[in-house]
Amino acid sequence: MIIPIFRIFDFSKAKEFYISFLGFKLDWTHRYDENMPTYYQISLNDAILHLSEHHGDSSPGSTIRIKMNNIKKYHSTLQKKQYQYSNPSLEKTPWDTVELTVIDPFFNKIIFYEEIA
């Protein structure tokens, strides 16, 4: 299994975006001591992401793709939340997918996609 790491700078903003808006759940956190940055694992269905406050773990502005089922229902769920910082739309691609792209507060991009049968 491959687990991407996204660099974050503020967990309260990350929590608002990933957990409250996108619906990920917080699996665990790790911090060496109280004055150190924190490392988080979040998950949504089968997708697992690591979020790190450590400056050397990743560069902001990364992009990943997450395959999912029933993307239209997920999109509808996001629309109902009326999150003020993101209003993603569905896009049908020439390569036979439906995609929903979101950008987190740290410029990391997630492209959720579903293959068209």
- How many C-beta neighbours within 10 Å does residue 24 have? 22
Average pLDDT, the chain: 95
According to the model, what pLDDT value does residue 109 have?
A: 97
Helix (H) or strand (E) holding 66: strand 63-67
How many Cα atoms within 13 Å fall on the side-chain side of residue 45?
A: 9
- How many angstroms separate the CA atoms of 68 and 66, rounded? 6
Q: Architecture of 5-115 per CATH?
A: Roll (3.10)
* pLDDT tens per residue, range 44-92: 999 999 999 998 888 889 999 999 999 999 999 999 999 999 999 999 9
According to the model, what pLDDT value does residue 70 have?
A: 96
Q: pTM here?
A: 0.93
Domain coordinates in residue numbering, the chain: 5-115
